[in-house]
Amino acid sequence: MSELEGRFSVLRNSANAAAAAAIEQHVRDAPDEALNRINVIDFAREHGVPVEKALDGFLHASRLGLFEMQWNILCPGCGGVLNSNATLQSVHQHDYMCSICARGYEPSLDEMVEVSFTVSPRVRKIAAHTPHQLPIWEYFRQMYWASALRMPSAAEFETLMHRMVLDWTELGPGEKGSMSVQLPPDAFVILFEPVAHAAVFIEVQGEATRERRELSTVFNRVQAPTGKHTLQPGPLRLALENRTDSRVLPVLFIANDDLHDMMGKRRNFLTAKRLLTHQTFRDLFGADTLAVDQRLKITNLTFVFTDLKASTELYERVGDLAAYDLVRAHFGVLGKVVAEQSGAVVKTIGDAVMATFPSSDRGMEAVLRMRESMRRLNDERGREDLLLKIGIHEGPCLAVTLNERLDYFGQTVNVASRVQGLATSQSIFATEPVIRYEPTAELLAREGLSPVPRRCSLKGISDELTVYEIA
């Protein structure tokens, strides 16, 4: 058996059968571009596999060396890839500048950081492994706009480029070149270079002229040039110089409807937040996710805290060994429910569990199932020994590393923990943002549950909060 066959064999034993089969076939038969920056959400839909199962498969495949994970910083404005990283540890906290949008964006794990999968060059060599050799339009299609935008085929994309580009060129390291174009009237023109991330903006207005104007642009990685000029319609010569150590691909775009329409065709992508709240990812990669001093923003994450009521009395009543077995059984049940709802267990402390979910409806579905599972477990034993106290809250937080594991920090975490402290047996306590989230409200309505509001003071929290009890 070859090394590759051996890896596929391990994948079939560790991942969902349908997902593993789809991944194996994809690696063997898909065209090159389909193996670059694979969007797991699209892959799952195209192969008829549940997203969570497909994600499990790609995570196991990455652990086996079949794929490389990429953490791409996507511009919310134009959809371009501002930076691509082999690990989340390479993502920094300060703003990422987008030259084509002329603004900076602070990275957030639920809005700007995409996780994609590219086949390993040790498994199969594809063109995107050497991006500096890609033809210019394929570089734009496969590298710059490959992640956030829904790209047309290669032939369609090239036709589209010719409709919204005045001129383009390629300059090797140290090379000089030029473009000579006729500026159209009443246009906004952008000289954009995707490798060094440089842009020059030209507002075309006024009476047409026959005089040839000249502009000079130097591409330098130390500081990508960005500038704005107002010129009359007519002839223009752009003098270009590449002072970087790689080729550059300057393109002169007309900011017309074609360009805006293309940049508006967004697709859903696997966010870093969703991956961090996925149990398989935490199990396989959680220990080396963030650097010790790294702090990355998440604009909204759902936290669930649970604890066993009267666990001390349980140990006294049934003895340490029996109580320990019961607590382990309860952890197993909760962990299974969390994973089924696309969540992840962050940590356990004594008899308590802290878990995260990508949205509050997933978190609410999980806590309702947790409560029902505990009831079934108690029914099997004929005693109500395991009674959960549950709290759920959502909001912004920071992803951090604590005790060598991925963890979360911030007031949202504190509130979620305090809300759980309000709960009594069989009741779930949820904050107003959770209840007001429409999919959560619809879920509770389907379950015939009516949350009862109450104003509460939480320890360490200055303002009173409206907290809802779900009996």
What HEC string does the chain produce? CCHHHHHHHHHHHHCCHHHHHHHHHHHHHCCHHHHCCECHHHHHHHHCCCHHHHHHHHHHHHHCCCEEEEEEEECCCCCCEEEEECCHHHCCCCCEEECCCCEEECCECCCCEEEEEEECCCCCCCHHHCHHHCCHHHHHHHHHCCCCECCCCHHHHHHHHHHHEEEECCECCCCEEEEEEEECCCEEEEEEECCCCEEEEEEECCCCCCCCEEEEEEECCCCCCEEEEEECCEEEEEEEEECCCCCECCEEEECCHHHHHHHCCECCCCEHHHHHCCHHHHHHHHHHCCCCCCCEEEEEEEEEEEEECCHHHHHHHHCHHHHHHHHHHHHHHHHHHHHHCCCEEEEEECCEEEEEECCHHHHHHHHHHHHHHHHHHHHHHCCCCCCEEEEEEEEEEEEEEECCEEEEECHHHHHHHHHHHHCCCCCEEEEHHHHHCHHHHHHHHHCCCCCEEEEECCCCCCCCEEEEEEC
CATH superfamily of 290-470: Nucleotide cyclase, GGDEF domain (3.30.70.1230)
Q: So what's the pLDDT on residue 292?
A: 80
Q: So what's the pLDDT on residue 384?
A: 66
pLDDT-flagged residues of the chain (< 50): none
Share of the chain above pLDDT 70, in %: 94
- Residue range(s) in the chain whose domain bears CATH number 3.30.70.1230: 290-470
Residue that has been written with the tokens 């047996």 in this structure: 425
CA distance 111 to 310: 41
Q: So what's the pLDDT on residue 102?
A: 87
Residue-wise pLDDT tens digits, 425-469: 778 999 999 999 999 999 999 999 999 999 988 887 877 889 999
Q: So what's the pLDDT on residue 289?
A: 80
Angle, helix 51-63 to helix 40-47, in steps of 10 degrees: 120
Q: So what's the pLDDT on residue 114?
A: 96
Residue-wise pLDDT tens digits, 322-364: 666 777 888 888 999 999 999 999 999 888 899 999 999 999 9
| This prediction's pTM | 0.89
